[in-house]
Chains A and B, each alone.
Chain A
Amino acid sequence: MNGNGVLAQTLRWLNDPLNWQGPHGVPALTVEHLGMSAAAVLIAAVVALPLGVWLGHRPRGGGLTVVASNTSRALPTLALLFIFATTGLGFGNRPTVLAAALFAMPPILSHAFTGVREVDPAARDAAGGMGMSAARVLGTVELPLALPLIGAGLRTAAVQVVATVPLAALVGGGGLGTIIVTGFATQRYGQVVAGGILVAALCLAVEAVLAFGQRVLTPRPMRAVAVGR
Protein backbone atom coordinates (compact mmCIF):
# COMPACT_ATOMS: atom_id res chain seq x y z
CA MET A 1 0.00 0.00 0.00
CA ASN A 2 1.53 3.26 -1.03
CA GLY A 3 -1.51 5.50 -0.87
CA ASN A 4 0.68 8.36 0.32
CA GLY A 5 2.87 8.05 -2.75
CA VAL A 6 -0.17 8.32 -4.97
CA LEU A 7 -1.41 11.33 -3.06
CA ALA A 8 1.94 13.06 -3.44
CA GLN A 9 1.95 12.27 -7.17
CA THR A 10 -1.59 13.59 -7.46
CA LEU A 11 -0.64 16.88 -5.85
CA ARG A 12 2.47 17.12 -7.99
CA TRP A 13 0.41 16.54 -11.14
CA LEU A 14 -2.17 19.12 -10.14
CA ASN A 15 0.57 21.63 -9.30
CA ASP A 16 2.52 21.12 -12.51
CA PRO A 17 1.94 24.24 -14.63
CA LEU A 18 2.58 22.18 -17.78
CA ASN A 19 -0.65 20.29 -17.15
CA TRP A 20 -2.64 23.50 -17.16
CA GLN A 21 -1.64 24.95 -20.51
CA GLY A 22 -1.74 24.09 -24.19
CA PRO A 23 -4.26 22.13 -26.24
CA HIS A 24 -4.16 19.20 -23.78
CA GLY A 25 -4.10 21.28 -20.63
CA VAL A 26 -6.85 21.14 -18.06
CA PRO A 27 -8.59 24.39 -19.16
CA ALA A 28 -8.68 23.33 -22.82
CA LEU A 29 -9.96 19.86 -21.92
CA THR A 30 -12.59 21.36 -19.62
CA VAL A 31 -13.84 23.64 -22.39
CA GLU A 32 -13.97 20.68 -24.78
CA HIS A 33 -15.77 18.63 -22.13
CA LEU A 34 -18.39 21.32 -21.53
CA GLY A 35 -18.84 21.92 -25.26
CA MET A 36 -19.51 18.23 -25.89
CA SER A 37 -21.90 18.14 -22.94
CA ALA A 38 -23.81 21.18 -24.15
CA ALA A 39 -24.17 19.70 -27.63
CA ALA A 40 -25.46 16.43 -26.18
CA VAL A 41 -28.00 18.11 -23.90
CA LEU A 42 -29.17 20.32 -26.77
CA ILE A 43 -29.72 17.36 -29.10
CA ALA A 44 -31.53 15.44 -26.37
CA ALA A 45 -33.73 18.42 -25.47
CA VAL A 46 -34.68 19.13 -29.08
CA VAL A 47 -35.90 15.56 -29.48
CA ALA A 48 -37.23 14.69 -26.03
CA LEU A 49 -38.86 17.92 -24.83
CA PRO A 50 -41.54 18.28 -27.53
CA LEU A 51 -42.19 14.54 -27.42
CA GLY A 52 -42.59 14.48 -23.64
CA VAL A 53 -44.82 17.55 -23.64
CA TRP A 54 -46.97 16.13 -26.42
CA LEU A 55 -47.31 12.73 -24.72
CA GLY A 56 -48.22 14.43 -21.45
CA HIS A 57 -50.71 16.72 -23.16
CA ARG A 58 -52.63 13.85 -24.70
CA PRO A 59 -55.35 12.63 -22.37
CA ARG A 60 -54.40 8.94 -22.60
CA GLY A 61 -51.46 6.67 -23.11
CA GLY A 62 -47.85 7.37 -22.38
CA GLY A 63 -47.50 4.71 -19.69
CA LEU A 64 -44.88 3.19 -21.94
CA THR A 65 -42.80 6.37 -21.64
CA VAL A 66 -41.96 5.73 -18.02
CA VAL A 67 -41.29 2.03 -18.60
CA ALA A 68 -39.01 2.77 -21.54
CA SER A 69 -37.12 5.42 -19.64
CA ASN A 70 -36.57 3.01 -16.72
CA THR A 71 -35.40 0.20 -18.96
CA SER A 72 -32.84 2.48 -20.61
CA ARG A 73 -30.93 2.45 -17.34
CA ALA A 74 -29.89 -1.11 -18.02
CA LEU A 75 -28.19 -0.37 -21.33
CA PRO A 76 -24.53 0.33 -20.65
CA THR A 77 -23.31 3.57 -22.23
CA LEU A 78 -20.08 1.84 -23.05
CA ALA A 79 -21.89 -0.74 -25.18
CA LEU A 80 -23.49 1.99 -27.25
CA LEU A 81 -20.15 3.76 -27.68
CA PHE A 82 -18.43 0.59 -28.83
CA ILE A 83 -21.26 -0.26 -31.22
CA PHE A 84 -21.09 3.25 -32.68
CA ALA A 85 -17.38 2.79 -33.21
CA THR A 86 -17.99 -0.22 -35.46
CA THR A 87 -20.46 1.69 -37.62
CA GLY A 88 -20.02 4.70 -39.85
CA LEU A 89 -20.07 6.99 -36.82
CA GLY A 90 -16.51 6.07 -36.03
CA PHE A 91 -14.44 7.11 -33.03
CA GLY A 92 -13.98 10.15 -30.87
CA ASN A 93 -16.20 12.99 -29.83
CA ARG A 94 -19.07 12.71 -32.29
CA PRO A 95 -20.28 9.23 -31.31
CA THR A 96 -19.81 10.14 -27.64
CA VAL A 97 -21.98 13.22 -27.97
CA LEU A 98 -24.62 11.10 -29.71
CA ALA A 99 -24.49 8.37 -27.07
CA ALA A 100 -24.65 10.92 -24.25
CA ALA A 101 -27.60 12.61 -25.99
CA LEU A 102 -29.42 9.28 -26.28
CA PHE A 103 -28.97 8.67 -22.56
CA ALA A 104 -30.06 12.21 -21.71
CA MET A 105 -33.40 11.76 -23.47
CA PRO A 106 -35.16 9.48 -20.95
CA PRO A 107 -34.92 11.87 -17.96
CA ILE A 108 -35.95 14.87 -20.08
CA LEU A 109 -38.79 12.93 -21.66
CA SER A 110 -40.17 11.42 -18.47
CA HIS A 111 -39.93 14.69 -16.52
CA ALA A 112 -41.67 16.68 -19.27
CA PHE A 113 -44.30 13.97 -19.56
CA THR A 114 -44.96 13.82 -15.83
CA GLY A 115 -44.89 17.60 -15.50
CA VAL A 116 -47.56 18.18 -18.11
CA ARG A 117 -49.61 15.12 -17.17
CA GLU A 118 -49.71 16.01 -13.47
CA VAL A 119 -51.06 19.54 -14.01
CA ASP A 120 -54.09 20.05 -11.76
CA PRO A 121 -57.12 19.03 -13.87
CA ALA A 122 -59.07 21.90 -12.31
CA ALA A 123 -56.67 24.42 -13.86
CA ARG A 124 -56.98 22.67 -17.20
CA ASP A 125 -60.78 22.60 -16.95
CA ALA A 126 -60.95 26.26 -15.99
CA ALA A 127 -58.87 27.20 -19.04
CA GLY A 128 -61.08 25.06 -21.26
CA GLY A 129 -64.18 26.61 -19.70
CA MET A 130 -62.87 30.06 -20.58
CA GLY A 131 -62.96 28.96 -24.20
CA MET A 132 -59.22 28.38 -24.72
CA SER A 133 -58.23 26.05 -27.51
CA ALA A 134 -56.19 22.94 -26.68
CA ALA A 135 -53.06 24.62 -28.00
CA ARG A 136 -53.62 27.67 -25.81
CA VAL A 137 -54.26 25.56 -22.76
CA LEU A 138 -50.95 23.87 -23.43
CA GLY A 139 -49.07 27.13 -23.96
CA THR A 140 -50.53 29.30 -21.23
CA VAL A 141 -51.53 26.82 -18.53
CA GLU A 142 -49.90 23.43 -18.80
CA LEU A 143 -46.40 24.44 -19.84
CA PRO A 144 -45.89 27.13 -17.19
CA LEU A 145 -47.14 24.79 -14.48
CA ALA A 146 -44.92 21.98 -15.75
CA LEU A 147 -41.86 24.20 -15.93
CA PRO A 148 -40.31 23.22 -12.57
CA LEU A 149 -40.36 19.52 -13.48
CA ILE A 150 -39.13 20.20 -17.01
CA GLY A 151 -36.27 22.17 -15.49
CA ALA A 152 -35.51 19.34 -13.09
CA GLY A 153 -35.39 16.91 -16.02
CA LEU A 154 -32.99 19.11 -17.96
CA ARG A 155 -30.79 19.48 -14.90
CA THR A 156 -30.69 15.75 -14.22
CA ALA A 157 -29.90 15.12 -17.87
CA ALA A 158 -27.15 17.77 -17.96
CA VAL A 159 -25.37 16.44 -14.88
CA GLN A 160 -25.64 12.91 -16.21
CA VAL A 161 -24.18 13.99 -19.55
CA VAL A 162 -21.22 15.74 -17.92
CA ALA A 163 -20.61 12.49 -16.05
CA THR A 164 -20.93 10.37 -19.22
CA VAL A 165 -18.69 12.41 -21.52
CA PRO A 166 -15.45 11.19 -19.81
CA LEU A 167 -16.12 7.80 -21.44
CA ALA A 168 -15.26 9.46 -24.75
CA ALA A 169 -11.62 8.95 -23.85
CA LEU A 170 -12.11 5.18 -24.11
CA VAL A 171 -13.03 5.50 -27.80
CA GLY A 172 -10.37 8.02 -28.73
CA GLY A 173 -12.26 11.18 -27.91
CA GLY A 174 -11.34 14.22 -25.85
CA GLY A 175 -12.53 15.92 -22.70
CA LEU A 176 -11.33 15.47 -19.13
CA GLY A 177 -11.64 11.69 -19.33
CA THR A 178 -8.42 11.59 -21.37
CA ILE A 179 -6.44 12.48 -18.25
CA ILE A 180 -7.76 9.39 -16.47
CA VAL A 181 -7.46 7.01 -19.40
CA THR A 182 -3.97 8.18 -20.33
CA GLY A 183 -2.98 7.86 -16.69
CA PHE A 184 -4.19 4.26 -16.56
CA ALA A 185 -2.45 3.45 -19.83
CA THR A 186 0.88 4.85 -18.62
CA GLN A 187 0.39 3.60 -15.04
CA ARG A 188 0.77 7.11 -13.64
CA TYR A 189 -1.75 6.73 -10.88
CA GLY A 190 -1.23 10.22 -9.52
CA GLN A 191 -2.51 11.49 -12.86
CA VAL A 192 -5.42 9.03 -12.71
CA VAL A 193 -6.48 10.33 -9.31
CA ALA A 194 -5.99 13.95 -10.40
CA GLY A 195 -8.22 13.32 -13.44
CA GLY A 196 -10.82 11.65 -11.25
CA ILE A 197 -10.83 14.62 -8.90
CA LEU A 198 -11.13 17.10 -11.79
CA VAL A 199 -14.02 15.21 -13.41
CA ALA A 200 -15.82 14.88 -10.09
CA ALA A 201 -15.28 18.57 -9.33
CA LEU A 202 -16.64 19.59 -12.73
CA CYS A 203 -19.75 17.46 -12.23
CA LEU A 204 -20.37 18.93 -8.78
CA ALA A 205 -19.81 22.45 -10.10
CA VAL A 206 -22.25 21.94 -12.98
CA GLU A 207 -24.82 20.48 -10.60
CA ALA A 208 -24.41 23.45 -8.23
CA VAL A 209 -24.63 26.05 -10.99
CA LEU A 210 -27.72 24.43 -12.51
CA ALA A 211 -29.42 24.04 -9.13
CA PHE A 212 -28.80 27.71 -8.44
CA GLY A 213 -29.94 28.72 -11.93
CA GLN A 214 -33.09 26.69 -11.60
CA ARG A 215 -33.86 28.32 -8.26
CA VAL A 216 -33.36 31.80 -9.63
CA LEU A 217 -35.43 31.12 -12.75
CA THR A 218 -38.35 29.54 -10.90
CA PRO A 219 -41.01 32.10 -9.94
CA ARG A 220 -41.20 32.39 -6.16
CA PRO A 221 -44.68 30.88 -5.66
CA MET A 222 -43.60 27.72 -7.48
CA ARG A 223 -40.35 27.09 -5.66
CA ALA A 224 -41.83 24.51 -3.32
CA VAL A 225 -42.67 22.29 -6.30
CA ALA A 226 -39.22 22.54 -7.80
CA VAL A 227 -37.49 20.58 -5.03
CA GLY A 228 -38.27 17.17 -6.51
CA ARG A 229 -35.88 15.89 -9.11
Chain B
Amino acid sequence: MDFYFGLIQIIGVHTLLGLSAYCVLLTGQVSLAQAGFFAIGAYVAGMLTVIAQWPLVPALGVSALVAGATACAVGFPALRVKGLMLVVATVAFGEAVRLFFFNFTYQVQAGNIRLGPHGGEGFRQIRYFPENGWTTLDVMLFIWAVVALVMAGLWWLNRSRAGAVLRAVGEDELAAQSTGINITAVKISAMTVGGVIAGIGGGIFAHYTTHIEHVQFGVVLATFAIAYPILGGLSNVFGTLLAVIFIQGFLIEGLRFMGDWRNLLFGGLIVLAMNVRPRGLLDAGAMLALKRLFFSRKERSDA
Protein backbone atom coordinates (compact mmCIF):
# COMPACT_ATOMS: atom_id res chain seq x y z
CA MET B 1 0.00 0.00 0.00
CA ASP B 2 2.81 2.42 0.85
CA PHE B 3 4.05 2.09 -2.72
CA TYR B 4 0.79 3.50 -4.02
CA PHE B 5 0.72 6.20 -1.38
CA GLY B 6 4.23 7.14 -2.47
CA LEU B 7 3.17 7.25 -6.09
CA ILE B 8 0.19 9.44 -5.25
CA GLN B 9 2.55 11.78 -3.38
CA ILE B 10 4.80 12.04 -6.42
CA ILE B 11 1.81 12.78 -8.61
CA GLY B 12 0.69 15.50 -6.21
CA VAL B 13 4.06 17.25 -6.11
CA HIS B 14 4.56 17.00 -9.85
CA THR B 15 1.08 18.43 -10.36
CA LEU B 16 2.20 21.50 -8.42
CA LEU B 17 5.31 21.68 -10.61
CA GLY B 18 3.20 21.34 -13.77
CA LEU B 19 0.73 23.98 -12.58
CA SER B 20 3.57 26.43 -12.01
CA ALA B 21 4.55 26.02 -15.67
CA TYR B 22 0.86 26.17 -16.64
CA CYS B 23 0.53 29.72 -15.26
CA VAL B 24 3.44 30.94 -17.33
CA LEU B 25 2.37 28.99 -20.39
CA LEU B 26 -1.05 30.66 -20.36
CA THR B 27 0.68 33.89 -21.37
CA GLY B 28 2.39 32.08 -24.24
CA GLN B 29 5.81 31.92 -22.60
CA VAL B 30 7.81 28.71 -22.49
CA SER B 31 9.84 28.81 -19.28
CA LEU B 32 12.38 26.18 -18.31
CA ALA B 33 13.12 28.02 -15.08
CA GLN B 34 10.41 26.25 -13.05
CA ALA B 35 12.82 23.56 -11.81
CA GLY B 36 15.00 26.38 -10.47
CA PHE B 37 12.11 27.86 -8.46
CA PHE B 38 11.24 24.35 -7.30
CA ALA B 39 14.84 23.88 -6.09
CA ILE B 40 14.79 27.20 -4.24
CA GLY B 41 11.55 26.16 -2.55
CA ALA B 42 13.02 22.79 -1.58
CA TYR B 43 16.21 24.19 -0.02
CA VAL B 44 14.52 27.10 1.75
CA ALA B 45 11.77 24.98 3.29
CA GLY B 46 14.24 22.24 4.22
CA MET B 47 16.60 24.65 5.95
CA LEU B 48 13.77 26.28 7.85
CA THR B 49 12.41 23.06 9.32
CA VAL B 50 15.78 21.37 9.87
CA ILE B 51 18.07 24.20 10.95
CA ALA B 52 15.62 26.82 12.24
CA GLN B 53 13.25 24.13 13.59
CA TRP B 54 10.18 25.83 12.09
CA PRO B 55 6.90 23.99 11.65
CA LEU B 56 6.20 22.89 8.08
CA VAL B 57 3.38 25.21 7.03
CA PRO B 58 5.10 28.54 7.75
CA ALA B 59 8.28 27.10 6.19
CA LEU B 60 6.32 26.36 3.02
CA GLY B 61 4.90 29.89 3.12
CA VAL B 62 8.38 31.40 3.22
CA SER B 63 9.67 29.09 0.49
CA ALA B 64 6.72 30.17 -1.66
CA LEU B 65 7.55 33.82 -1.06
CA VAL B 66 11.26 33.40 -1.76
CA ALA B 67 10.64 31.42 -4.95
CA GLY B 68 7.96 33.91 -6.05
CA ALA B 69 10.23 36.89 -5.43
CA THR B 70 13.00 35.18 -7.39
CA ALA B 71 10.61 34.48 -10.26
CA CYS B 72 9.50 38.11 -10.27
CA ALA B 73 13.11 39.33 -10.34
CA VAL B 74 14.05 36.85 -13.09
CA GLY B 75 10.95 37.84 -15.05
CA PHE B 76 12.04 41.42 -15.66
CA PRO B 77 15.11 40.68 -17.78
CA ALA B 78 14.00 37.25 -19.06
CA LEU B 79 10.61 38.27 -20.41
CA ARG B 80 12.15 40.90 -22.64
CA VAL B 81 13.18 38.08 -24.93
CA LYS B 82 10.77 35.76 -26.66
CA GLY B 83 10.39 32.24 -27.99
CA LEU B 84 13.60 30.24 -28.21
CA MET B 85 15.65 33.02 -26.67
CA LEU B 86 13.44 32.86 -23.57
CA VAL B 87 13.90 29.09 -23.43
CA VAL B 88 17.68 29.57 -23.51
CA ALA B 89 17.57 32.35 -20.91
CA THR B 90 15.42 30.31 -18.52
CA VAL B 91 17.54 27.17 -18.96
CA ALA B 92 20.55 29.28 -18.08
CA PHE B 93 18.80 30.52 -14.94
CA GLY B 94 17.76 27.00 -13.94
CA GLU B 95 21.31 25.74 -14.33
CA ALA B 96 22.64 28.70 -12.37
CA VAL B 97 20.35 27.78 -9.48
CA ARG B 98 21.39 24.14 -9.67
CA LEU B 99 25.08 25.06 -9.66
CA PHE B 100 24.51 27.43 -6.77
CA PHE B 101 23.21 24.55 -4.67
CA PHE B 102 26.06 22.35 -5.95
CA ASN B 103 28.42 24.80 -4.23
CA PHE B 104 26.24 25.85 -1.32
CA THR B 105 27.19 24.59 2.11
CA TYR B 106 25.61 25.77 5.33
CA GLN B 107 25.65 23.26 8.15
CA VAL B 108 25.08 23.34 11.87
CA GLN B 109 26.19 20.85 14.49
CA ALA B 110 23.33 18.89 16.08
CA GLY B 111 24.53 16.30 18.55
CA ASN B 112 27.00 14.08 16.76
CA ILE B 113 25.82 14.88 13.21
CA ARG B 114 25.96 17.98 11.05
CA LEU B 115 22.69 19.16 9.48
CA GLY B 116 22.08 21.34 6.42
CA PRO B 117 22.98 21.56 2.73
CA HIS B 118 26.45 20.24 2.01
CA GLY B 119 27.39 21.20 -1.56
CA GLY B 120 27.56 18.36 -4.03
CA GLU B 121 26.63 15.79 -1.40
CA GLY B 122 23.24 17.39 -1.04
CA PHE B 123 21.00 18.09 1.90
CA ARG B 124 20.26 14.98 3.99
CA GLN B 125 18.12 14.30 7.02
CA ILE B 126 15.12 16.48 6.25
CA ARG B 127 13.20 14.43 8.77
CA TYR B 128 10.27 16.64 9.67
CA PHE B 129 7.63 14.03 8.82
CA PRO B 130 9.11 11.03 10.70
CA GLU B 131 10.16 13.21 13.66
CA ASN B 132 6.61 14.46 14.05
CA GLY B 133 5.09 11.04 13.58
CA TRP B 134 3.36 11.61 10.22
CA THR B 135 2.44 8.39 8.46
CA THR B 136 2.70 8.02 4.69
CA LEU B 137 -1.06 8.43 4.56
CA ASP B 138 -0.92 11.68 6.54
CA VAL B 139 1.73 13.03 4.20
CA MET B 140 -0.29 12.02 1.18
CA LEU B 141 -3.42 13.70 2.49
CA PHE B 142 -1.48 16.85 3.34
CA ILE B 143 0.03 17.02 -0.16
CA TRP B 144 -3.34 16.58 -1.80
CA ALA B 145 -4.96 19.17 0.41
CA VAL B 146 -2.35 21.65 -0.87
CA VAL B 147 -2.80 20.49 -4.47
CA ALA B 148 -6.57 20.84 -4.18
CA LEU B 149 -6.18 24.33 -2.74
CA VAL B 150 -3.85 25.45 -5.54
CA MET B 151 -6.05 23.88 -8.21
CA ALA B 152 -9.15 25.54 -6.81
CA GLY B 153 -7.34 28.87 -6.77
CA LEU B 154 -6.24 28.53 -10.38
CA TRP B 155 -9.67 27.28 -11.44
CA TRP B 156 -11.18 30.39 -9.92
CA LEU B 157 -8.49 32.60 -11.49
CA ASN B 158 -9.28 31.05 -14.84
CA ARG B 159 -12.85 32.25 -14.66
CA SER B 160 -11.86 35.74 -13.56
CA ARG B 161 -10.92 38.68 -15.73
CA ALA B 162 -7.28 38.10 -14.81
CA GLY B 163 -7.48 34.64 -16.37
CA ALA B 164 -9.00 36.02 -19.56
CA VAL B 165 -6.25 38.63 -19.74
CA LEU B 166 -3.54 35.96 -19.33
CA ARG B 167 -5.05 34.01 -22.22
CA ALA B 168 -5.42 37.13 -24.34
CA VAL B 169 -1.70 37.84 -23.94
CA GLY B 170 -0.91 34.20 -24.74
CA GLU B 171 -2.95 34.31 -27.88
CA ASP B 172 -1.88 37.59 -29.47
CA GLU B 173 0.52 39.95 -27.72
CA LEU B 174 0.15 42.64 -30.32
CA ALA B 175 -3.63 42.71 -30.11
CA ALA B 176 -3.39 42.57 -26.31
CA GLN B 177 -1.15 45.64 -26.22
CA SER B 178 -3.46 47.42 -28.59
CA THR B 179 -6.44 46.85 -26.32
CA GLY B 180 -4.55 48.47 -23.47
CA ILE B 181 -3.13 45.44 -21.67
CA ASN B 182 0.29 45.98 -20.13
CA ILE B 183 1.79 42.74 -21.39
CA THR B 184 5.06 43.03 -19.46
CA ALA B 185 3.20 43.40 -16.17
CA VAL B 186 0.90 40.48 -17.04
CA LYS B 187 3.78 38.17 -17.95
CA ILE B 188 5.75 39.04 -14.82
CA SER B 189 2.68 38.46 -12.64
CA ALA B 190 2.17 35.05 -14.24
CA MET B 191 5.84 34.24 -13.70
CA THR B 192 5.55 35.28 -10.04
CA VAL B 193 2.46 33.15 -9.41
CA GLY B 194 4.24 30.26 -11.16
CA GLY B 195 7.24 30.80 -8.88
CA VAL B 196 5.06 30.75 -5.76
CA ILE B 197 3.46 27.45 -6.78
CA ALA B 198 6.82 25.89 -7.70
CA GLY B 199 8.20 27.05 -4.34
CA ILE B 200 5.41 25.27 -2.44
CA GLY B 201 5.88 22.16 -4.57
CA GLY B 202 9.64 22.16 -3.97
CA GLY B 203 9.18 22.64 -0.24
CA ILE B 204 6.91 19.60 -0.03
CA PHE B 205 9.23 17.58 -2.25
CA ALA B 206 12.18 18.20 0.08
CA HIS B 207 10.20 16.84 3.02
CA TYR B 208 8.84 13.64 1.59
CA THR B 209 12.12 12.60 -0.06
CA THR B 210 14.10 13.66 3.09
CA HIS B 211 17.21 14.03 0.92
CA ILE B 212 17.70 16.56 -1.87
CA GLU B 213 20.68 17.27 -4.05
CA HIS B 214 21.40 19.50 -6.99
CA VAL B 215 21.15 16.81 -9.72
CA GLN B 216 17.44 16.38 -9.02
CA PHE B 217 16.70 19.91 -10.19
CA GLY B 218 18.26 19.85 -13.64
CA VAL B 219 16.96 20.34 -17.15
CA VAL B 220 15.11 17.01 -17.07
CA LEU B 221 12.85 18.21 -14.26
CA ALA B 222 12.33 21.54 -16.06
CA THR B 223 11.32 19.63 -19.17
CA PHE B 224 8.82 17.56 -17.21
CA ALA B 225 7.38 20.75 -15.70
CA ILE B 226 6.62 22.21 -19.10
CA ALA B 227 5.59 18.86 -20.64
CA TYR B 228 2.68 18.39 -18.22
CA PRO B 229 0.61 21.44 -19.19
CA ILE B 230 1.51 21.11 -22.87
CA LEU B 231 0.49 17.46 -22.94
CA GLY B 232 -2.55 18.02 -20.76
CA GLY B 233 -3.84 21.09 -22.54
CA LEU B 234 -4.30 24.63 -21.32
CA SER B 235 -8.07 24.82 -21.30
CA ASN B 236 -8.12 24.19 -17.55
CA VAL B 237 -6.12 22.94 -14.57
CA PHE B 238 -7.32 19.34 -14.80
CA GLY B 239 -5.41 18.86 -18.06
CA THR B 240 -2.14 19.22 -16.17
CA LEU B 241 -3.28 16.78 -13.48
CA LEU B 242 -4.32 14.26 -16.12
CA ALA B 243 -0.95 14.58 -17.86
CA VAL B 244 0.93 14.02 -14.59
CA ILE B 245 -1.12 10.89 -13.90
CA PHE B 246 -0.47 9.72 -17.47
CA ILE B 247 3.29 10.31 -17.30
CA GLN B 248 4.09 9.47 -13.68
CA GLY B 249 1.44 6.84 -13.08
CA PHE B 250 1.26 5.11 -16.43
CA LEU B 251 4.42 5.80 -18.41
CA ILE B 252 6.93 5.70 -15.56
CA GLU B 253 5.41 3.29 -13.02
CA GLY B 254 2.96 1.37 -15.18
CA LEU B 255 5.54 0.42 -17.79
CA ARG B 256 8.28 -0.54 -15.33
CA PHE B 257 7.87 -4.22 -16.27
CA MET B 258 9.35 -3.39 -19.67
CA GLY B 259 12.78 -2.71 -18.20
CA ASP B 260 15.11 -0.62 -20.30
CA TRP B 261 12.64 -0.53 -23.21
CA ARG B 262 10.43 1.69 -21.13
CA ASN B 263 12.29 4.90 -21.93
CA LEU B 264 11.97 4.29 -25.65
CA LEU B 265 8.24 3.68 -25.40
CA PHE B 266 7.90 6.65 -23.05
CA GLY B 267 9.07 9.12 -25.71
CA GLY B 268 7.04 7.36 -28.39
CA LEU B 269 3.81 7.50 -26.39
CA ILE B 270 4.21 11.20 -25.66
CA VAL B 271 4.71 11.90 -29.36
CA LEU B 272 1.66 9.77 -30.13
CA ALA B 273 -0.47 11.55 -27.53
CA MET B 274 0.55 14.93 -28.90
CA ASN B 275 -0.39 13.83 -32.41
CA VAL B 276 -3.74 12.39 -31.47
CA ARG B 277 -4.64 15.35 -29.28
CA PRO B 278 -2.62 18.35 -30.53
CA ARG B 279 -4.35 20.79 -28.18
CA GLY B 280 -3.70 18.59 -25.17
CA LEU B 281 -5.42 15.60 -23.60
CA LEU B 282 -8.13 17.78 -22.10
CA ASP B 283 -8.81 20.42 -24.76
CA ALA B 284 -11.80 22.72 -25.17
CA GLY B 285 -13.66 20.12 -27.21
CA ALA B 286 -13.24 17.43 -24.55
CA MET B 287 -14.40 19.85 -21.87
CA LEU B 288 -17.51 20.66 -23.90
CA ALA B 289 -18.27 16.95 -24.31
CA LEU B 290 -17.86 16.41 -20.56
CA LYS B 291 -20.09 19.36 -19.82
CA ARG B 292 -22.78 18.00 -22.14
CA LEU B 293 -22.54 14.59 -20.51
CA PHE B 294 -22.89 16.16 -17.09
CA PHE B 295 -25.71 18.51 -18.00
CA SER B 296 -27.75 16.00 -19.97
CA ARG B 297 -27.58 13.64 -16.99
CA LYS B 298 -28.73 16.38 -14.72
CA GLU B 299 -31.64 17.20 -16.99
CA ARG B 300 -32.63 13.57 -17.08
CA SER B 301 -32.59 13.34 -13.31
CA ASP B 302 -34.61 16.54 -13.13
CA ALA B 303 -37.24 15.09 -15.45
- A and B: real partners? no
The chain A residues found within 8 Å of chain B, CB to CB, are none
